[in-house]
Structure 1
Amino acid sequence: MLGELSELQMETLLKQQVIGRIACQADGVPYIVPINYFYNGTHIFFHSAIGKKIEIMRKNPKVCFLVDDIKSVFKWQSVIVLGKFEEITDMAEKERAMQGLIHRIMPFADNPKDHPSHGIAEKEDDIATRLELVIFKVIPISKTGRFEN
């Protein structure tokens, strides 16, 4: 049976998952990549090194975010969020976002102390010299959810 997720079911799925896919487009070229995230019930928070997706979202802040839970071909749930990319510049908000991301992601990490590409390492110098980390959020405009059971 195919169906629509309720608002509560969509919120639950967004809060349960850790990896989604963010889609963006600029100059007529679409781009989609998997990404770690943290959802606080209002915004979806991310971090990334500067690269293609950040460059695209800076040009065009309209994004689409997908998260799903696939048990089998005939048993799955998915939520699609249409929203707006916003780079976080306020240091206090950046710190809160990173703490939320670290808290959410680290239980799934093989070696939690050594992930400099995620802004996490035993020595702070290992992070700062290797990459410029961008902390950003997606401000949801609308969301839809579907399932098959």
Structure 2
Amino acid sequence: MQGVLEQNGWNCAESVELNVGTGVLRSRENLFTEGEIGDIGKPFGESLSSIASIRYTAVNRQRATASSLERFLQDAEGLFRLLRNESMPLKMAQLRRTTQFSIGEIKRNKDLLGAKITATQREYTFKKAELDRMESAAITEMILEDSEYQRLVGERL
């Protein structure tokens, strides 16, 4: 691929935008063996589209879900393996594991907060029912007192 870099005036692979680089790779799929393409874990074109969407997501500042972030990291890891970069797949795998751990912590915290809010809502439902019962009893008592008062006033008149 060195010739492609020189032909386009790129001094290194990192200077190629992802969406352009994926187009270059797509047009040179024949440079890779079936085994190398199989190692990326998904069809070649699908993997390259995912790689291009990494750039799109970053440039357009789109929100990335936890699952899309994990997919991006897996696809980047596969791309580095495909490009025969020996150190980056290990770094990407480590980054992916760290990210998975962080996402797991976020999910556990969210689940804990969800359980807390459910318990709080249940507690307030019981308290509200008790307040409703007390209000109903107070109204009934006031109606009875009013009836008794009206009876007494009626007798006096």
Question: What TM-score range do you get, normalising by the shorter chain?
Answer: under 0.3
**TM-score for both structures, normalised by structure 1:** 0.26
The structure richer in helix per residue is 2
Structure scoring higher RCO (CA < 8 A, sep ≥ 6) equals 1
